[in-house]
Amino acid sequence: MNALACRLLRKAEKAQISFTYAQVAELATFISDENLLNTLTKNASGSCTQADLEELNNNGINDELIAEIAKRCSLQDPNEGAIWQPGVLQKRLDDMAESAGQLADNLNRINKNLEKQKRRKKSGLFAFLGMLGGSNRTEPSSGFRVGDHVRVKYRGQEGTIIDINGSLIMVSLDDGKHVDSYNASQLEKAW
């Protein structure tokens, strides 16, 4: 059937019978002879719709002829921006790489901000705990400080304060073998 249709269309071409773009687009789905289709498209009459142009483009009509029809009929060239056009694929890849780079930069900036916020929260928490611990360590009512030389009242042993934790005062005794905790009422300054 394809051969018979091509013979009839060639006779119509010689008789200078023109078809509309819609008719050529419909014929293009059945005819495999690209030269005949290009000639019929070139000689087509009437207006062309975007759908007709897309159909012609999808059925092997010459790209230059498609561009010419698109320009003449004020339509969007379906091949414009197609990735097989020179430079289009490279431009799209470059655009994608730039977008990926911007995305990576944004993610890095977000991560840095999150790290800063974590550090601030940690340092704030540790500073708060340090204040609590510090207030326990330098209990003003006891009058003792780390490094003071003290005597245990009921034993008479002497030592050095190495830590103050709340109401407990840790003392390293002079014999160097013992560390014990006492209340402030159990200790007195030795010198």
How many structural domains does the chain have? 2
Among 39, 72, 105, the domain-final residue is: 72
Side chain identity, residue 20: T
Q: Is residue 33 part of a domain?
A: yes
* CA pair distance 143, 165, nearest whole angstrom: 14
Domain stop point among 72, 106, 130: 72
Which candidate, 30, 51, 56, places its Cα nearest to that of 41? 56
pLDDT score, position 82: 58
> At which of 46, 72, 98 does a domain end?
72
Q: Could you list the residue range(s) of the whole structural domain that residue 165 is in?
A: 149-189
How does pLDDT run across 83-111, given as a tens digit for each residue?
555 665 677 777 788 888 788 878 878 87
Closest CA to 59 of 103, 102, 22, 97: 22
Domain membership flag for residue 90 = no
The per-residue pLDDT for 135 is: 47
Encode pLDDT of 129-171 as tens digits.
555 555 444 444 578 888 888 998 888 888 888 888 888 888 8
pLDDT in tens, 5-44: 888 888 888 888 888 888 988 888 888 888 888 888 888 9
Say if 9 falls within a structural domain. yes
Which neighbouring-strand residues pair with 158?
151
Rounded CA-CA distance 4/10 in Å is 10
Question: Which pLDDT belongs to residue 136?
Answer: 44
Query: Is the residue at 29 inside a domain?
Result: yes
Does 11 fall in a domain?
Answer: yes
How much is the pLDDT for 28?
83
The per-residue pLDDT for 64 is: 87
**Is the model's pLDDT at 116 over the cut of 80?**
no
Comparing 153 with 126, the larger pLDDT belongs to 153
Tokens representing 146 are 């780390």
Q: What is the DSSP string of 59-106?
A: TT--HHHHHHHHHHTT---TTTT-TTSTTHHHHHHHHHHHHHHHHHHH
Rg value, the chain, Cα: 46
C-beta of residue 25 within 8 angstroms of C-beta of residue 52:
yes
| Helix, strand or coil, per DSSP, at residue 151 | strand
- In the prediction, which pLDDT does 171 show? 87
Alpha-carbon torsion angle 82, 88, 94, 100, nearest 10: -10
Could you tell me if residue 174 is inside a domain?
A: yes
- At what angle are helices 50-58 and 63-72 packed, to 10 degrees? 170
pLDDT at 113: 79
DSSP string over 106-135: HHHHHHHHHHHHHHHHHHHHHHHHHHHHHH
Predicted local distance difference test score (pLDDT) of residue 138: 42
In this predicted structure, the answer to whether residue 117 has a pLDDT above a threshold of 80 is: no
Task: Tell me what pLDDT residue 96 has.
Answer: 82
Per-residue pLDDT for 2 more than 80?
no
